[in-house]
Amino acid sequence: MLFLALRTLRARKGGFVGAFVALLCAAALVTACGALLETGLRGDIRTERYAGTDTVVTADQNLHWTKEKKGKTKTKSKPLTERAWLDTAAVDRLRAVPGVRAVVPELTFPAHVLTAGGRALDTADNAWGHAWESAGLTPFGLRTGRAPTAADEIVVDADLARRAGVGVGGTVTVQAGRAPGPYRVVGIAAPPGRDGLARQATVFFADDEARRLAGHPGQVAAAGLVMAPGADPDAVRTAARAVLAGTGAQVRTGADRGSAEFPAAAKARTTLVSLGGALGGTSLLVAILVVVGTFALSIQQRRREIALLRAIGATPRQIRRMVGREALVVGLLAGALGAGAGLGLARWLYGRFVAFGALPDTLELRLSAIPPLGAVLLTLLAAWTAARVSVRRAARVRPTEALADAAIERPGLGAWRLVGGVVAALGFGALLVLLSSLDTEPTATPVTFLTVILAAVAIALLGPVLARALSAVLGPVVARWSPVSGFLAARNMRAAAGRVAAVVVPLSLAVAMASTILFTRTTTDHAAEQQAGAGTLASFTLAAGPGVPGAAADAVRAVPGVEVATEVLHTMVRAGQDKFSAQGVTPRGLARTLDLRTTSGSLGAMTDGTVAVSELAARTKGVGVGDRLRITMGDGVVLALPVVAVYERGLGFGDLTLPHAVVAAHVDRPAADAVLVAGAPSVSRSAVQRAVGSFPGVRVLDAGDVGRARRDQAGTRAQVDYVAMGLIIAFTGIAVVNTLVMATSARRREFALLRLVGTTRRQVLRMLRWETGMVVLLAGGLGTAVAYATLTAYSLGMTDRAVPYAPPLTYAAVLVAAAGLAVVATVVPGCAALRGNSAEVISVRD
């Protein structure tokens, strides 16, 4: 059978091109997702600031909890969303460790050098201030000038000095702490052989000034250990762990130093594992569905060949083995090429995620042989399984019936296929009910895509019935409109329902998947935007790139007529194991700037020791007004705060509302994201702008400006989803073209026969267009119905309203793209199939 399989592949190369393309795309997708997943699990985070010391001590940067399952206790951990700080008492203990020559305390806090126009030279993640005493951790050395000693003196790295256009003796504005201020550059420093660090700008302050700006008295970000000459590093680290026992401090060395220096990269690992797993799982399910459909169409086109083999004595087992080995050969070739392409795709994906800000470039992409090998194995398994499933019916037909079945397609469905289709449809309904009860994005998203895929399985199994139903409804209309071409198209739809179903599945899947991917994001973003727009009562909003300094808010409060200036700062917190978005707000006069639509309690009762929760958070944690809620802040500090209000608009403002001072004390960047200003009608925008004129980069926005900024921010977040899941849309689009080309190219003999009995070339092409139109109508209708049902359930769970939001032009573009692919993939191979002499074509063996 292996010899026969190889001969068949050689003789029917065109028939296996479709399966090859589908498998190649599947292997590329799986490889790319596997590379992202491996990066999340094992990606390198290379240290820069701590390159000059082998051992760094930090606070525990993870949150831990225990979980009971089946009588076993398991410890779970997740990275903190903010940096946890280390008590100086632990640093003092380290100084007594034998073999330690010095302990270098490290302070890390945001410090942005501003241009004359108020623009920060670096992004929020790439501009940090430190005390000069920690310069040796890299090590930084002075190129010119001296160390800072006064509160208004700084040393900058050589690269930052060049970009800022400043030298020793010059003055720059630095935003660090509550207000930007002028600092005199007294020195320019650099690490050995470089002008600066690759991924961060560095500003050194005098030690006392750095401690003031860091805002963590009695704490440090980290401590570097300098070994005494001749000391055994392993022995020193063991002793350090012993003296730190019970403090929660961690002794880090080697690659582990990178995650201490770049906590955002450590958090990104978890995000990348979730993203790679979700994208890979969805891609694999879509790939299996597409590959099964492709092989089913290929087997259907080979019915005469398989029938002849059965008629001359081939057993069902031999037929299955032959087709299975053909699939393994195709799968091996496609998997190897697809795996290579997948590595390039992984690099492109990683670059896009970094460009969009979804991943920090400090987490380096890891490419190894594991994802390609896994992709090849999965491709082989998918090809072999798809081939065996597709050939099952053709192989078990009795020899006496084989040739008759090859000539005429059976009109009915097999009992098992019918039962499977009904079960898949019922499963789709069950998942819709489940989806409507899920109210968090991490739980709802995977169920959403699984729902679409299960609906596609139901369409694949029940496709012939649906095709015949459509032809029964539209056939008479089409035949009346076009007596020749329309009549032939309607008859073909009914007689070749299996072929039509094979084409409808990828096309409906493309419409459903594209609509779901595009409109889940627009549904939640639109609901959040509506809530935020309706709930923001402020007349003006202050905004700035690196954050609005607290002094700017104080200046606005002094403007005549201004009654309230609410500082707003966003973060992520945990309550138990549940993660919630949170906002910190100034409690005083909150009702004048924000309307969160409280359902119980009052925001007027909020003080610096209280919390308000959304209905989702209240329902999830089982708390109400008067109850205490234990909250783990981003830096791991646990607070127990009484609930003073429950509100509706959690999607637009976050699920927890805390006092601004509480949030600012537990985040890496305490500058406000925005300041909401409300007052008398006489307060003008120009008066507010004059008040913040001495704060470079602070802008005054009205309601329209805020709405546009909010939409731009939502668009940036959506780009990440569209790039990630857009690969699946592209795959389904390729599958549509692939299947239609296969289905149309295999009809050369049919077209030749039509030409011989008198049908013109123009009538045949018109027939193809009528067929394509009916296929597009069926696939578009099914895809739209699946997407609408799925999005309605998703919207009900996420927004408490069964009203999904789909921009009409975007939805129209999805349908036009699907129809365009179908027309091109049908007409072009149709024209090619009509070339040549019809008598010669029909005489060629099949």
Radius of gyration of the chain (CA): 33
Task: Give 73's strand partners.
Answer: 68
Q: What is the pLDDT of residues 286-295, one digit of tens each?
A: 777 777 777 7
User: Hey, what amino acid is at 121?
Assistant: L
d(CA 819, CA 608) in angstroms, rounded, equals 58
Contact 409, 496 (CB under 8 A): yes
d(CA 638, CA 659) in angstroms, rounded, equals 15
Q: What is the pLDDT of residues 731-760, one digit of tens each?
A: 788 778 877 777 777 777 777 888 888 888
Q: Looking at 172-181, 456-465, 557-566, which range is the least confident one?
A: 456-465
Q: Within 10 Å of residue 80's Cβ, how many Cβ atoms?
A: 24
What is the mean predicted confidence (pLDDT) over 769-793? 90
Q: Which helix (H) or strand (E) holds 453?
A: helix 441-481
Task: Render 771-820 in DSSP notation, one character per residue.
Answer: HHHHHHHHHHHHHHHHHHHHHHHHHHHHHSSS-----HHHHHHHHHHHHH
pLDDT value for 716:
66
Token look-up 């009860």 returns 437
Cα angle: 372, vertex 375, 376; to 5 degrees: 90
Question: In the numeric block, which tokens belong to residue 183?
Answer: 């600092």
Q: Looking at 138-152, 526-540, 723-737, which range is the least confident one?
A: 723-737
Q: What is the pLDDT of residues 25-76, one digit of tens each?
A: 888 988 998 998 899 888 888 889 999 898 999 999 888 887 776 667 777 7
Q: How confident is the model at residue 477 (pLDDT cuts 50, 70, 90)?
A: confident
Q: Given a cut of 50, is residue 406 above it in pLDDT? A: no
| DSSP reduced 3-state for 563 | strand
Print the SS3 string covering 463-519. Answer: HHHHHHHHHHHHHHHHHHHCCCHHHHHHHHHHHCHHHHHHHHHHHHHHHHHHHHHHH
d(CA 18, CA 746) in angstroms, rounded, equals 12
Q: Given a cut of 80, is residue 557 above it in pLDDT? A: yes
Contact 261, 202 (CB under 8 A): no
- Model confidence, pTM: 0.83
- What 8-state DSSP symbol labels residue 120? B
Distance (Å) of CA 338 to CA 36, 44, 716:
16, 25, 30
| DSSP reduced 3-state for 230 | coil
Rank 499-508, 655-664, 726-735 by mean pLDDT and report only the highest.
Answer: 655-664
Q: Given a cut of 50, is residue 609 above it in pLDDT? A: yes
- Residues sharing a CB contact under 8 Å with residue 395, sequence separation 6 or more, in sequence order: 306, 310, 316, 317, 319, 320, 323
